[in-house]
Amino acid sequence: MNRRDSLKAMGLTVSATLLLDSCKPAADKKTADGLVLDEIGRQKYEVEREKKLLAEKFFDAHEMATITILADLIIPKDEHSGSASDAKVPDFIEFIVKDEPEHALPMRGGLRWLDVKCLNKYNNEFKSCTPQQQLEILGAIAYPMQATPDMVAGVTFFNKMRELTAIGFFTSKMGIEDLGYKGNAPTKWEGVPADVLKQYGLEGV
């Protein structure tokens, strides 16, 4: 059910009319990659800053290819939803390191650390390693409590890479549907459903 239908179903009158009036499409602008840049309700400097960041490029092609492989290893396609790259997570990571520059250096340096580690270990940069080699090196940096001291820099990098990937994925349309979030739509909140209250024995609370 879309927003308009659910409004109707609820029989909302004043709210619905006011809401639909105020949700009419306005002078939004689409950027090259399809992101809608909304200028309504935003300050001029915000819009200008964002346009500038979207026009800049931080990661080179090699780095982006490595980020894409890593992101899909962290969040692969499964029976519920697509992979991180299906949800355009690499594009989000490219944007956010420019938006929040504190991520830029750890990401760039971390990618390089990973390539050099793989070169020494497997005679290949990470993206050209075999899938088995890639899993092996991730196994050494993806479990902080088990990592050996020589892998600490990799653990730090992977923590950040994993966090940015998860943010990018679970804030995408695909990721939000995967989580099963049901809100952001007009409703009438009448409390926790009876079957759920019963499940947890909270009927009397």
Q: Is 14 in the site for other proteins (CB under 8 A)?
A: yes
Contact status: 76 vs other proteins (CB under 8 A): yes
Under the binding rule (CB under 8 A), the answer on residue 50 touching other proteins is: yes
CA distance 37 to 55: 13
Shortest distance, position 57 Cβ to other proteins, whole Å:
15
**3-class secondary structure, 36:** strand
When binding is defined by CB under 8 A, the residue of 4, 5, 8, 23 that contacts other proteins is 23
Q: Of 2, 32, 190, 194, which one interacts with other proteins (CB under 8 A)?
A: 190
Task: Kindly tell me which of 116 and 202 has the beta carbon lying closer to other proteins.
Answer: 202
Residues 111/68, Cβ–Cβ less than 8 Å: no
Cα–Cα distances (Å) from 71 to 68, 96, 163, in that order, read: 5, 15, 10
What is residue 75's DSSP assignment?
Answer: S
Shortest approach of other proteins to residue 122 CB, angstroms?
18
Q: Which two tokens stand for residue 111?
A: 């990618």
Q: Are 133 and 115 in contact (CB under 8 A)?
A: no
User: Where are the strands (E) in the chain, listed by range?
Assistant: 29-30, 36-37
Residue list 88-147, contact with other proteins (CB under 8 A)? 92, 95-96, 99-100, 138, 142-146
> Which of residues 33 and 123 has its CB atom nearest to other proteins in the complex?
33
Contacts to other proteins from residues 144-163, by CB under 8 A: 144-146, 159, 162-163
Q: What is the closest distance, in whole angstroms, from the C-beta atom of residue 190 to other proteins in the complex?
A: 7
Minimum CB separation from other proteins for residue 197, in Å?
Answer: 8
User: Of the two residues 107 and 138, which places its CB atom closer to other proteins in the complex?
Assistant: 138
Contacts of 85 (CB under 8 A, 6+ apart): 68, 71, 72
Amino acid at 78: D
Q: How far is the CB of 12 from other proteins (least distance, A)?
A: 7
Residues 52-71 binding other proteins (CB under 8 A) are 53-54
Contact between 19 and other proteins by CB under 8 A: the answer reads: yes
- Close Cβ partners of 139 (under 8 Å, ≥ 6 residues apart): none
Q: What is the DSSP letter of 24?
A: S
